Chains A and B, each alone.
Chain A
């Protein structure tokens, strides 16, 4: 079983809906990440949180809004998404940010935009 838990596993939403993806880890990691992965492609980094503060935003559209309420939780709020946003959204965590730290991933949320 993965040590990074993501909910929901699947989400179908319309373009006008507002929903949130949730990620939780209890490994004491202080860095958390959101990735987007399209079919047959590698993951693409979206956001990085370090010690509950947003440190990196990879030019992600504002319809994606991350939030880190505490060191164990990471949310991704979704609003007014487009069909091209349909993808697998992966959360990851690592002990800290830094090149040496392996990232541990969750199972992901498969998002479909109607």
Chain B
């Protein structure tokens, strides 16, 4: 069964600090996909990134970077020089390709990490 653990329930930082959000996953599939979503107070979940299990390259997008390590089953997310607008709940999620060639619909979310960036 698939599982996603975000051990950090809440994190509070001061603006301009770097912050890393941890995500550890469990799966028996060899083909799977990892996602990060941001949920600001407005409620919408904003898709940030997708990573497939065969691509361990780290990715950087502006102030955001992601570190995918299959050896430790982790997909951590770092925000550099945090800003107040980064305050939100961040969800890590996992989807398994399963045996149906990609027909699996289920997106398993972690419990989320509430990030508060103070001015």
Contact = CB atoms under 8 A, between A and B. Distances in A.
Contacts, number: 63
Given A48-B105, A99-B96, A100-B52, A105 B111 contact: no
Which of B31, B104, B107, B109 counts the most A-chain CB atoms under 10 A from its CB? B107
Contact of A45 (B37, B44, B106): B106
A110 B43 contact: yes
Contact of A107 (B33, B37, B43, B111): B43
Nearest to B37: A105
* Size bracket, chain A contacts: 20 to 34
Interface string B30-48: 0111010100001111110
A72 B91 CA distance: 26
* Size bracket, chain B contacts: 20 to 34
B44 A102 contact: no
B23 to A, nearest CB: 12
Given A97-B103, A99-B98, A100-B102, A43 B44 contact: no
A99 B95 contact: yes
Contact of B45 (A55, A90, A97): A90
